[in-house]
Structure 1
């Protein structure tokens, strides 16, 4: 057998390789032999992962500066990733999205679940926004961008460097235009009958949250003739979907003036500007003030940022979710609906549901759980990686 020309990352004798063989995509730093040669690998190095007996396991991207020292890319006999390798992965990802969606507005690549660990790609028609949140992908970004243009035909590719994962990998936070020219205005995106304005250069994440699409649709189905409150609204995700579903009014609450301005632009494009109001402020303070006013709504949605982005933050995050539920529940009219969301992978569905029910109970309300939502199918789960199923949306009737 010809020795591999690649450097080697080797598991410790007590580290069992079964998880990797069964599809687990991460290798942790405390699971490998971190000798001088391992520590000398530059972030982004492509290496051969071996078990303790020197049997090849996988091709991995290495970052000695990360707790996740290795990310599984391919089988042990695969060639070093190049443009053709990326193109093959992207064609698989594209074939799924083209079957699912009639227009090219979706998450094209959902990291590990699409075979590109740490890589997020959202598509906005002829524009793609890439988040290379792992060192191996950042090092091979030119090949990735070339393959992306080849496979999809997009004419503009933007690098978004604002992901939390990049900081954990020790990567820069510098955005860039990799192909074409940056859009000079927000991009309109139509989903579920609503129009959203996505700021691809200065907005949160890649500019829009495609993951909530099916949950927006379910909420829209509850919104006929409803008065709606959308808290942590970003660019009007649930509020605009509710207006598309026949709501008589929607109030969007967010801490970002820019996001609320985009919500207003979206409502205007829908011909619903007169039905939308916006409130800039701290969500907890606004919820408290509305409670003191004894305001009520037929549909209340709270879709906060990740309160539990890590295991260390889990308990504090669950308390925050409980507080949201406690403050929001009194605002829901009798037989109205309360939607509570979490994008925290560290708080699983059971724990998040428990926190929400505690908050609703502390508010003196009784609840029926009528629907549990997750991310749309353009955000597939890798079954071996629980973290890929991060989004939860609970629909209660109070």
Structure 2
């Protein structure tokens, strides 16, 4: 394993377990290694700091995978399988049994790997899908060399069965690779089309109904008709479970005020209807009647969301529209809603976009607050990692003021329990949610 030294005075972050080292922090040039090659990082005196992998073509030249000299680190299939198993054990301990984020990159000491597990059934038989993204040269090389991905996932499935984490075997396991994200370019990697690496029993990942636990009653399932191949990220968003539970717990306390009338729900940037389905599932179980209005720019998303809500027998109205132009939708402008969800895509991709992005959040939420009925609950989200909570709160303050609403802030939320982050790595904390209620 090659050794790199970090410059004097540049070791503060890595000593505090931040997993990235930039090229200008290294004593020597990172050139001369293969992308993804294992590296041991030391200080100027040769004292151990971390082990991980390097990339001579990236500004982030070193990514830590281990901070312990006692750990026999390498990038073999056996090592990576054990890391994934540790991540699965963590989620299992937190109660995740169906579809969930299995590996979240740096938070699971697997820098550069995102992996979700989806569960579905076909003709009475249960299946699982492992959908993953390789975001860095290290993970790309480790998974693709000699098709090591198959060894890793097959071993993971077998070990998970043996430990009681899952009842599903390799014969009922599908694999989807989703390297269609532009961030790969920063690592000198190509953006690739989604690829089904392993298909089973003619299951079509373009059209399956995955099972997700009810966020309020985990022993019950909520079903989603999804297109994992063409869907965003790994195919579906699973990161809002904590926020959904927080909102539903608040609604549950207000059941006496919700019953006996039709609740109107507005879901802005609905995607495939995750928020609406979870809320309607629980409202119906409480005997609360409702109708849902879905807004999204994607025809595919609206179609899937409408299908997902069809099972509950509630009226559903769809609007293919940019949410920043809600005032142009006459059918919505004249209505008031009891529950409003504002969960847009990231308006801020990097720090230079911050002023423009915060203005967009303020504009969207101004419109959303204006559409709230008296007593309405409104959920405002940002998934922009570059947006700090205080920045988002300021955008919402402006929105409340401009809308003329009398709104009280009730709670703050964040990523679900299967999307943990490290205090030493704030870049992993991206999702923020603010819950208001109109007076």
Normalised by the size of structure 2, how large is the TM-score?
0.83
How far off its partner does 1:21 sit?
2.5
Which position in structure 1 is the counterpart of 2:286? none
Residue of structure 1 in register with 2:92 after alignment:
98
Q: Deviations over 1:48-70 (max 9, x none)?
A: 21222333321121122222111
1:188 Cα deviation from its structure 2 partner: 2.5
1:61-210, aligned counterparts within 5 Å?
61-75=53-67, 77=69, 78-101=72-95, 103-125=97-119, 126-141=128-143, 142-152=147-157, 153=169, 155-174=173-192, 175-181=194-200, 183-184=203-204, 185-192=207-214, 194-210=222-238
Alignment match, 2:303: 261
* 1:58 maps to which of 38, 50, 56: 50
How many Å apart are 1:283 and its aligned residue?
1.2
Q: Which moved more, 1:375-384 or 1:153-162?
A: 153-162
Q: What residue number does 1:228 align with?
A: 265
Aligned mates of 2:368, 2:110 — CA distance in 1: 39
Query: How big is the shift at 1:95?
Result: 0.8
Hey, what's the Cα distance between the residues in 2 that align with 1:354 and 1:288? 26
For residues 420 and 393 of structure 2, the distance between their equivalents in structure 1, rounded to whole angstroms, comes to 22
CA separation of 1:358/1:291 partners in 2, compared to 1, >3 Å: closer, same or farther? farther
Residue 291 of structure 1, CA deviation = 9.1
Trace 1:1-398 onto structure 2 (pairs within 5 A): 6-15=1-10, 17-35=11-29, 38-75=30-67, 77=69, 78-101=72-95, 103-125=97-119, 126-141=128-143, 142-152=147-157, 153=169, 155-174=173-192, 175-181=194-200, 183-184=203-204, 185-192=207-214, 194-221=222-249, 222=251, 224=258, 225-246=262-283, 248-268=290-310, 270-272=311-313, 274-289=314-329, 293-398=333-438
Tell me by how many angstroms 1:290 deviates.
5.0
Over aligned residue pairs, what C-alpha RMSD do you find? Answer: 2.1
**Greater Cα shift, 223-232 or 346-355:** 223-232
Partner SS, residue 240 of structure 2: helix
Cα–Cα, structure 1 residues 226 and 54, in superposed 2: closer, same or farther, change >3 Å? same
- Which range moved further: 57-66 or 203-212? 57-66
* Corresponding residue for residue 3 of structure 1: none
Query: 2:345, 2:354 → 1: CA distance?
Result: 13
CA contact (8 A) 1:216 1:237 kept: no
Bigger shift: 6-15 or 337-346?
6-15
Q: CA deviation at 1:101?
A: 3.0
CA–CA separation in structure 1 for the residues paired with 2:411 and 2:301: 28
Shift of 1:148: 2.5
Distance change (3 Å), C-alpha of 1:42 and 1:321 = same
Q: Is the 8 A contact 2:408 2:437 kept in 1?
A: yes
State the distance in 2 between where 1:7 and 1:163 align: 30
Aligned length: 388
d(CA) in 1 for partners of 2:294, 2:341: 10
Residues 250 and 277 of structure 1 are in contact (CA less than 8 Å); yes or no, is this contact kept in structure 2?
Answer: yes
Deviation at 1:102, TM superposition (A): 5.2
CA separation of 1:271 and 1:327: change in aligned 2, threshold 3 A = closer
Task: Say if 2:333 and 2:371, in contact at 8 Å, map to a contact too.
Answer: no
Where does structure 1 lack aligned partners over 5 or more consecutive residues? 1-5
* Superimposed CA distance per residue, residues 99-141 of structure 1 (whole angstroms, 9 cap, x where no aligned partner): 2235331000011111101211000121100111111000001
Task: Tell me the TM-score normalized by structure 1.
Answer: 0.91
SS at match of 1:339: strand
Cα distance in 2 between the residues matched to 1:395 and 1:104: 27
Deviation at 1:220, TM superposition (A): 3.9
Deviation at 1:250, TM superposition (A): 0.7
Summarize deviations over 1:10-48 as a string: whole Å, max 9, x none: 212331x2321321111112211343xx22323222212
Deviates more, 1:107-116 or 1:288-297: 288-297
Verify the 8 A CA contact 2:344 2:381 in the aligned structure 1. Answer: yes
Q: Is 1:194–1:240's contact at 8 Å kept on the other side of the alignment?
A: yes
| CA spacing shift, 1:143–1:397, aligned 2, 3 Å | same
Q: Which runs of 5+ in 2 are unaligned?
A: 120-127, 158-168, 215-220, 253-257, 284-288
Q: Secondary structure at the match of 2:151?
A: helix
Report the Cα distance in structure 2 between the residues aligned to 1:312 and 1:187, rounded to whole angstroms. 39
